[in-house]
Homo-oligomer: A and B are copies of this chain.
Amino acid sequence: MNRSAEVICVGTELLLGEVLNSNAQFLGQELARLGIPHFHQTVVGDNPTRIKGAIALACQRSQLLIFTGGLGPTPDDLTTETLADFFQIPLVNHPEILEDIARKFAQRNREPSPSNGKQAWLPELAQVLPNPIGSAPGMIWHPRPELTIFTFPGVPKEFQRMWQATAVPYLQSTGWVTAQIYSRVLRFWGIPESTLADQVAPLLALTNPTVAPYASKGQARLRISTRAASVETANQVIAPIEQQIRQICGVHCFGADEDTLESVVGELLQQRGETLAVAESCTGGGLGQRITSVSGSSTYFLGGVISYANAVKQDLLKVNATDLEQHGAVSAIVAEQMAAGVRSVLQSTWGVSITGIAGPDGGTETKPVGLVYIGLSGPQGTQSFEYQISSLRGRDWVRQMSTSHALDLLRRQMLVDQP
């Protein structure tokens, strides 16, 4: 069967480069995962003539057309109308769509505006593809035999939820998906991608499963992939290789798939029945924000102190004024006092602190931008760790790396300390 899919992203904001077309990448990954051939991606603006041109071309060469964007309530959202017009099929009103929109707006104590009305019109015989999050629904439509059209809103979160909830099951139930590609992603911290690749070099040459290294935001990963008819058969191929990698890389591997440093730290704390408090300077709350991004973190996270000003370090964290003066706020000893201080004030098992120079300003000869001290205080005592994070990638990067290092330090410490 030589059927193929084609992606058409609609939106002048894409042509103007105001929005990065992450939907096209997501669809590329998904279609590859589902084993659906996919040879063309097109971006057109909110212009009926050019949208029609893209439709005409795509339905000559592909049997599944996936549209993203142009489903909103405003006059420049034209995807649905233009599709109906191209295939000369009348639009019919779906009152249930407007009711659903009204329900969602009501939750936010709002009312649909007149312009939402147009979102309730779909071509005759098109199925509504519900949007669990936002207002714009999509559709699954067969304007002619052997041609399937999906429309999705352009908002990535909404589009991805709808894709997983309705499009994937539909494709699986209609013969589009034969064998899938299953992957397991192992996640690493504290080891560069190149070092990791060298350590597992022989495995990178495997053909089934394949093992591919990549990295983003300072986190190295290994993806183990195999093409299989079921998840069980896939696991039989993937599991032994995962085991080998874990043996080679040891503690550097902090988790797999959806794991994050904060979720792994949370699981360890929960298993040990221990609690955590944070003291943050240059990250300004970013560490607490990451820890509490894990649902249920209230069982082990007590809270913390954002000690941006030195007075707060002294008053709330009992940091020694003389040490602050002599060594400066960005120093090992202050980091240690912040960690020990927040641990004693909040009476937690662990106290973690971050103080550093996030930049772009504030750096000096002896204390350049990117210099960060992390304090770690626990049942076995208090230590600090110095990092020089590259300042080239800016303030956000320094802050992001700082919170990751802090979480990883706590993780490694819990692995060696017995509760």
B39 engages A15 (CB within 8 Å): yes
Digit string of A300-326 for contact with B (CB within 8 Å is 1, else 0)? Answer: 011111111101100110000000000
In whole Å, how far is A37's beta carbon from the nearest beta carbon of chain B?
Answer: 10
In whole Å, how far is A52's beta carbon from the nearest beta carbon of chain B?
Answer: 13
A284 engages B291 (CB within 8 Å): yes
Does residue A64 face the partner (Cβ distance < 8 Å to B)? no
* Bound complex: CA A358 to CA B302 (Å): 16
Does residue A143 face the partner (Cβ distance < 8 Å to B)? no
Q: Is the interface of A mostly helix, strand, loop or mixed?
A: mixed
* Bound complex: CA A216 to CA B22 (Å): 14
Instruction: List residues of chain A with CB under 8 Å of any chain B CB.
Output: 12-22, 24-32, 38-45, 47, 50, 57, 72-76, 104, 107-110, 112-116, 132-133, 135, 155, 157, 192-195, 197-198, 204, 212-214, 216, 223, 278, 280, 282-289, 291-293, 295-298, 301-309, 311-312, 315-316, 345-347, 358-361, 370, 388-393, 395-397, 399
> Given A43-B24, A45-B39, does the pair A292, B284 have CB atoms closer than 8 Å?
yes
Q: Which residues of B contact A47 (CB under 8 A)?
A: 39
Q: Of the candidates B73, B193, B315, B361, which one forms a contact with A194 in the assembled complex, judged by CB atoms under 8 Å apart?
A: B73
> Given A40-B44, A57-B57, A107-B390, does the pair A115, B285 have CB atoms closer than 8 Å?
no
In whole Å, how far is A196's beta carbon from the nearest beta carbon of chain B?
Answer: 9
Q: Of the candidates B17, B50, B315, which one forms a contact with A39 in the assembled complex, judged by CB atoms under 8 Å apart?
A: B50
A289 engages B284 (CB within 8 Å): yes
A302 engages B291 (CB within 8 Å): no
* Bound complex: CA A49 to CA B52 (Å): 23
Task: Given contact pairs A20-B25, A302-B308, A303-B307, enumerate 10 new A-B contacts (beta carbons under 8 Å).
Answer: A14-B24, A19-B25, A39-B44, A42-B42, A107-B388, A116-B194, A284-B303, A293-B395, A297-B308, A302-B312
* Bound complex: CA A197 to CA B370 (Å): 44
Q: Which residues of B contact A30 (CB under 8 A)?
A: 17
B20 engages A20 (CB within 8 Å): yes
4 closest pairs, A vs B, by CB? A284-B292, A285-B285, A17-B28, A285-B288
Which B residue sits closest to A192, measured CB to CB?
B110
